[in-house]
Amino acid sequence: MNLAADPKADAFEALAAQPLTATIKGIPPRAAPIALGAVRKQGWNLLRGDLPFPLAVLSGAALEHNSRWMRAFIQANKLSIAPHGKTTMAPQLFRRQIEDGAWAITVATLQQLMVCRRFGFDRLLIANELIGPGELDAIFGELAKAPQLEIYALVDSLAGIERIAAAGRRTGNAARLQLLLEMGVAGGRTGCRSLGGALEVARAARREGLTLRGVEGFEGVLKETAAVDAFLDSITAAAEAIAGEGLFSADGQVILSAGGSAFYDRVAARFARSRLANEVQIVTRSGCYLTHDSVSYEQHYRAMRARELAEPGPHPGSLPTGDLRPALLIWTQLQSRPEPGRAILTMGRRDVGQDAGLPVPLLWYRRGLHEAPVAIGAGHSVAALYDQHCCLDCPSTSALAVGDLVAFGISHPCTTFDKWQVLYVADERYDIVDAVRTFF
Amino acid sequence: MNLAADPKADAFEALAAQPLTATIKGIPPRAAPIALGAVRKQGWNLLRGDLPFPLAVLSGAALEHNSRWMRAFIQANKLSIAPHGKTTMAPQLFRRQIEDGAWAITVATLQQLMVCRRFGFDRLLIANELIGPGELDAIFGELAKAPQLEIYALVDSLAGIERIAAAGRRTGNAARLQLLLEMGVAGGRTGCRSLGGALEVARAARREGLTLRGVEGFEGVLKETAAVDAFLDSITAAAEAIAGEGLFSADGQVILSAGGSAFYDRVAARFARSRLANEVQIVTRSGCYLTHDSVSYEQHYRAMRARELAEPGPHPGSLPTGDLRPALLIWTQLQSRPEPGRAILTMGRRDVGQDAGLPVPLLWYRRGLHEAPVAIGAGHSVAALYDQHCCLDCPSTSALAVGDLVAFGISHPCTTFDKWQVLYVADERYDIVDAVRTFF
């Protein structure tokens, strides 16, 4: 039974009933307050000007395609996926991911875990080292309240083991928290830097009566495939050494977990080589596949496809047919064309991430002129993003004019989602068919 | 009577009664749900570990100091200030700014305006070109509902005039919206690029029966003082030319408005030279002075002080005695020290802005070791920010250990505030004395 597939219906009903006020970005004042669940019944259309700009708009069709694409990938490669919830922080999207076969939801913080608990997700992977006594007490407290709840968390140090053990003693259920030993790379983020260090932590876990279930790493700090492969192999090696000393908890499989959104092909390929005697569960954690993007993760995706072509025939890590599609665009309105080569649009750092590259203009629409949005054409690019404005360089011959709509592709979903409390879902005709609430 | 100084008490009471749940970052699960207004009564202390990390913490003393500093500046220079609300989007802080003499609140979007309306702020400056019919209808609708409401908005094109006039005709109160003609600079953001262009727009406003009240610009797109001065002079020149043709609305002063948080000294100095026959109201719009910061705006502030020293004696644009203080720090906990030269902390792009520079580690605290936070010492600097992690380079001899608290100064308040729904206010002993809610 997929415990996590049984989220709390009443929490989702309460969410649907939640009134959205005009103080939330994207909610039209004349319709506010409006229940989240009532948005789909309004008959709003993005292109008709029913909504204020800028807007974050998800393509329902692209979401569905990407979600099924990942289901095909994990099934073909016999993986589990615990998609990183931090990307969208949208329980409505978590539910879709669970329905499409996700094994758990990954989170990075206590607050993110509490969002998942509110909506009844019962298998959670905290891909982080939580060491605050208050945080740990809260996590053990959640476990104490819910017998069906499974929480996995990372540990990379003796200090971490001590803090987890102390919190477990306070609540008397130390063994309920399932630990993954974290491996890291030199110059990188969290994680043990050596096999010896990893074994010390694993032995301490055993001494303290804690439950060690596997080994984990985040390869996304690396850029080169060879370095990623070597790091993934170090995770397998650590698991083999820990298993060799009998330090994993006696019951159940050994978990090997890695995989952001750039190298899950390699995770499948390298972990498949494990020589562990135990049954192995490989858990990937991509968060960005669901909406994909138009720049950064599109490049990562192209690199995965190139790696696949370099290794002909079916093999561990093979990707499904069809491509991931960018499901999230920011729609803006042109507010000024102060010079022939420049247009200013209603979108800024408050609306779109720029940490992994600037957004890219993709579509242009003018009511009366166009039946549907058209490609914006060459020569248009973002020159600067201010807090609330986008400066677009354009050819002096560009027909862009005040009032036109321009849609931008994004780079890095995580840092665009967190700028919106409500994102709309649109169909192919740009009718608004749903709204998604985030919890950042 | 300062209309804007009479915000809706009942809206603030409702805000204080609003329950904060554990799904909001920084709210401790064991205390949730807790009313915003009850936070101050909890006896929480930041250093005692009563709250989960990371946390955004405002210094109550620094806020008060900065707010009074700006009051002294505007009084000494006979300015009005309409602080940009986009910085904090915190009505509780807007109220403080109004109490300290702010003339209006500035906003950038319809959503921001609706936040101000909900809390009863009755004089609002939209420092933006709003051209969507839905947005304009909402603004004229707000004016129709509230006879005491004053809204000022920008216009920089004939297309903008047409759209505003059309919306005004739909609601029958076109003249209620008070327009400021926006000037801009070549290669910059919105705003007319020439005096001729500005006069065309001003004449169109008169033809359409709209109310033109002044001229505006945003000098923050420029870096050099000489360029800023020249741009400010172009604003004055446009106002003189428009006044020369009798295109300002007959009743009342002419408004000259400019001033982000980097050059308000120059705004005071250059606008004081206006030769307008009309009475002139100079409106500055700094948003960042209230919390100031530790990097970007600290540098801008030092540049202002250097300009002042270069021009001895009292003069327009003179700054008050005392310095602005950084009022906002992000407090984090050290979760891993995986290498001698590296520490990993619970703070990422989700918690702190990096568009104007990385955060800087300032304070270190370990319970039991320190009575109070101490300076962190040389050699500690941010190497990388991930979504939820901070990699800190540190000397291999650094005493930093798992569980320690580290406080970071920020660069650019606007892009840190927007990452928090709740910020705490602390006193000198780090007791939590209040909580501030944002509306992004």
Of residues A26, A118, A336, nearest to B156 (C-beta) = A336
The three-point CA angle B419-B422-B423 to 5° equals 90
pLDDT of residue B6: 57
Taking the CA of residue B25 and the nearest CA in chain A, the distance in Å comes to 6
pTM, entire model: 0.97
Q: Could you tell me where the DSSP H helices lie in A310-435?
A: 414-417
Residue in chain B lying closest to A109 (CA): B388
Nearest Cα neighbor of A300 from A321, A323, A322, A320 is A323
Strand partners, B254: B280
- Two structure tokens written together for B122: 């009755």
Q: What is the largest CA-CA distance in chain B?
A: 73
Nearest chain A Cα distance for residue B104, angstroms: 19
Residue of B nearest to A405 (CA): B132
Tell me if B387 and A349 make a contact (CB, 8 A cut-off): no
Contact B30 A138 (CB under 8 A): yes
- For residue A6, the model assigns a pLDDT of 58
Q: Do B129 and A339 touch (CB under 8 A)?
A: no
In Å, how far is A192's CA from the nearest CA of chain B? 6
C-alpha span between A404 and B437 (Å, rounded): 35
Nearest to A115 among B23, B134, B141 (CB): B23
Q: According to the model, what pLDDT value does residue A312 have?
A: 84
* Whether residue A395 has a cis bond before it, omega within 30° of 0: no
Are A52 and B108 a contacting pair at CB < 8 A? no
Tokens of A367: 């009511």
The position carrying tokens 């496809």 is: A305
Residue of A nearest to B357 (CA): A355
Name which of B29, B156, B388 is nearest A114 (Cβ-Cβ). B29
Quote the CA–CA distance of A344 and A389 in Å, as a whole number: 7
Contact A437, A118 (CB under 8 A): no
**pLDDT tens-place string over residues B2-33:** 444 457 899 999 999 999 999 999 999 999 99
Report helix, strand or coil for B179: strand
Contact assessment for residue B414 and residue B86, using Cβ atoms and an 8 Å cutoff = yes
The pLDDT assigned to A137 comes to 97
How crowded is residue A378: how many other Cβ atoms within 10 Å of its Cβ? Answer: 8
- What is the largest distance, in Å, between two alpha-carbon atoms of chain A? 73
- State pLDDT tens for residues B377-419: 999 999 999 999 999 999 999 999 999 999 999 999 999 999 9
Q: Which residues contact A197 (CB under 8 A, 6 or more apart)?
A: none
**Residue A372: burial class (beta carbons within 10 Å; 0-12, 13-18, 19+):** exposed
The ranges of chain B with pLDDT < 70 are: 1-6
Pair of tokens at residue A31 = 């319709």
- State residue A349's pLDDT score: 98
Exposed, middle or buried, A73 (CB in 10 Å: 0-12/13-18/19+)? buried
Given this model, what pLDDT does residue B313 score?
84
- Which candidate from B163, B188, B418 shows the least CB-CB separation from A403? B163
Low-confidence stretches of chain A (pLDDT < 70) are: 1-6
Contact B256, B214 (CB under 8 A): yes
